C-alpha cells in the first residue's frame, strides 16, 4: 500500500516537473533547456560564478539570434521570458504596463531583512506599485538634469585616466574593468553620496572591493552561492533558519555609508542633488499628494529603509548590467568604425566634447548616439 502510494506520488511529481519544463515549448517559444531542480544550466553557471551575467546574456543571445523573445527556467521550473524586440518591450513597459506589475527576479523572504524586503526587484503586487510610484519621478528629464554635474565630474576623471593610460608604457585598456569602475563610481556618487575614487585602477580600494562583492561581480565563495540559491528557492525556510542570501560584510558596509550620508545632510542641511536627495523629494511629494494637511505619513524609519534599500539595489542590479552594456557599446563601435566616426563627429559638432555644459536634452537628440545605444 505504502509502496503504491509512493509510486503514485513519484509519477505525479515527475509529470508535474516535466509539464513545467514544457511551458515554453507548449507556447511555441524557444528556450534554454531546463533540468529539475536547478533550472536552465546556463543560469546555474552564473550563480556558481563560472560566468558573469554579461557572459550568460551573450550566450543566450547567441543561442537565439533571430528570435524576438526566448525563455529560460529558474529553479524548480519557474519560467522567465526575455524580450529582444523593442516594440514588444515598449508594449510591456508602456502601453500594457498595468498588466505586468509582478516582474521581480528575486524571491527573498520579505521579512528576512528590512532593506532587501523593499528591493523593487524583490516585491510584488500593490507593494511593488507603491515603491515604484515613489521611484518613478526620479527619472524624469528634469530630475536627470539635476544629477548631470555629478556624472560630469566622473566623466572628466575617466577622460583623464584614459589620456594618462594612452601615454603610458602599457596603453592597453580592459574595457570591462574600466567601465565597471566607472559604474561603481557613478553608483557610489549618485546612490551613496560618496566619491569612491576607484577610477585609478587601485585593486585595494575598499569601496571597489565591497561593491564587486555585493553585486556578485567578484566570484563569491561557494558557501555564499549556496546561501543565495537556497534563499531564492526556499525563502520561508531560509528566513526561519536565518540564512543571509547576501554577503553580510559588504551589505552592512553600504548600509553604513548611506545612513551616514543621510545623517550628514540632515545635520548640516545641504543637498548634493543625488539619488538620495531625489528620493527624499519623492517622499515629500507623495506626502503632499496624499494628505492635504501635509502631515507626515512616512515615519523617519520608513524613509530611511526606503532610501537605504534602493541605494543598495542600485549596486545589486546596476553594476554588471551597466558596465556590460557600456563594454558592448565599445565593442560595437570598434567593429563598425564608420558608425564610430559619425558618432565622434556628432559629439564634436554638438560641442558636448568640451564638457563645459553637460546637457542631457542634447544627448537625447543625438541621432548616432541613440542608434549606437539602442542597436547594442
pLDDT (tens, 9 = 90+) of the chain, 376 residues, equals 677 777 776 677 667 767 777 888 888 889 887 666 667 777 677 766 677 666 777 788 888 888 899 988 876 677 888 888 888 888 888 888 777 776 666 777 777 778 887 887 777 777 888 888 888 888 887 888 888 888 888 888 898 888 888 888 888 888 888 999 999 999 999 888 888 888 877 778 899 888 888 877 776 677 777 777 777 777 787 887 888 878 888 889 999 999 999 999 888 888 888 999 999 888 888 777 766 444 456 788 888 888 998 888 888 788 888 888 898 899 899 999 999 999 988 888 776 544 556 677 777 788 888 888 887 7
**Cis status of the peptide bond prior to 37, with omega within 30 of 0:** yes
pLDDT at residue 17, rounded to an integer? 67
Q: How far is CA 257 from CA 181, 192, 231, 303, 309, in A?
A: 18, 6, 26, 16, 12
Residue 292: which residues within 8 A CB-CB, separation 6 or more? none
pLDDT at residue 294, rounded to an integer? 47
pLDDT at residue 218, rounded to an integer? 72
**Angle (nearest 5°) at CA 31 between 15 and 320:** 120
Q: Where are the alpha helices (DSSP H) in 48-117?
A: 53-63, 86-90
Residue 228: which residues within 8 A CB-CB, separation 6 or more? 47, 220, 245, 246
All structural domains of the chain, each given as residue ranges with its CATH number in brackets, are 2-100 (no CATH), 137-335 (1.10.630.10)
| Per-residue cell: 238 | 531560509
Handedness of CA 274, 347, 170, 50 (dihedral sign): positive
| Per-residue cell: 105 | 527576479
Q: How far is CA 263 from CA 93, 222, 352, in A?
A: 35, 36, 36
pLDDT at residue 211, rounded to an integer? 87
pLDDT at residue 235, rounded to an integer? 79
Amino acid at each position: 500500500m505504502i509502496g503504491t502510494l509512493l509510486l503514485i506520488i513519484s509519477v505525479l511529481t515527475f509529470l508535474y516537473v516535466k509539464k513545467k519544463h514544457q511551458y515554453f515549448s507548449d507556447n511555441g517559444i524557444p528556450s534554454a533547456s531546463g533540468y529539475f531542480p536547478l533550472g536552465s544550466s546556463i543560469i546555474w553557471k552564473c550563480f556558481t560564478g563560472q560566468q558573469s551575467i554579461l557572459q550568460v546574456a551573450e550566450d543566450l543571445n547567441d543561442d537565439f539570434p533571430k528570435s524576438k523573445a526566448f525563455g529560460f527556467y529558474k529553479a524548480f521550473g519557474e519560467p522567465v521570458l526575455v524580450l529582444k524586440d523593442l516594440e514588444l518591450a515598449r508594449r510591456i513597459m508602456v502601453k500594457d504596463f498595468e498588466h505586468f506589475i509582478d516582474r521581480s527576479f528575486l524571491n527573498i523572504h520579505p521579512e528576512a531583512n528590512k532593506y532587501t524586503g523593499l528591493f523593487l526587484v524583490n516585491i510584488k503586487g500593490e507593494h511593488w506599485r507603491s515603491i515604484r510610484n515613489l521611484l518613478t519621478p526620479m527619472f524624469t528629464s528634469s530630475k536627470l538634469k539635476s544629477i548631470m554635474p555629478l556624472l560630469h565630474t566622473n566623466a572628466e576623471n575617466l577622460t583623464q585616466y584614459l589620456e594618462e593610460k594612452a601615454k603610458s608604457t602599457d596603453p592597453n585598456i580592459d574595457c570591462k574593468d574600466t567601465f565597471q569602475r566607472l559604474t561603481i563610481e557613478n553608483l557610489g556618487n549618485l546612490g551613496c553620496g560618496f566619491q569612491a575614487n576607484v577610477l585609478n585602477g587601485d585593486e585595494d580600494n575598499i569601496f571597489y572591493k565591497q561593491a564587486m562583492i555585493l553585486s556578485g561581480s567578484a566570484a563569491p565563495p561557494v558557501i555564499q552561492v549556496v546561501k543565495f540559491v537556497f534563499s531564492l528557492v526556499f525563502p520561508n525556510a531560509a528566513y526561519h533558519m536565518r540564512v543571509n542570501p547576501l554577503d553580510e560584510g559588504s551589505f552592512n558596509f553600504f548600509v553604513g555609508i548611506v545612513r551616514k550620508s543621510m545623517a550628514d545632510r540632515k545635520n548640516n542641511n545641504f543637498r548634493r542633488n543625488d539619488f538620495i536627495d531625489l528620493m527624499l523629494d519623492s517622499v515629500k511629494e507623495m506626502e503632499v499628494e496624499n494628505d492635504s494637511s501635509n502631515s507626515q505619513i512616512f515615519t523617519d524609519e520608513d524613509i530611511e529603509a526606503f532610501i537605504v534599500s534602493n541605494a543598495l539595489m542600485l549596486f545589486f542590479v546596476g553594476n554588471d548590467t551597466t558596465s556590460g552594456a557600456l563594454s558592448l557599446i565599445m565593442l560595437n563601435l570598434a567593429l563598425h568604425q564608420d558608425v564610430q566616426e559619425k558618432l565622434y563627429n556628432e559629439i564634436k559638432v554638438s560641442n558636448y566634447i568640451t564638457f563645459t555644459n553637460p546637457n542631457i536634452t542634447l544627448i537625447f537628440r543625438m541621432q548616432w548616439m541613440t542608434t549606437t545605444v539602442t542597436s547594442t
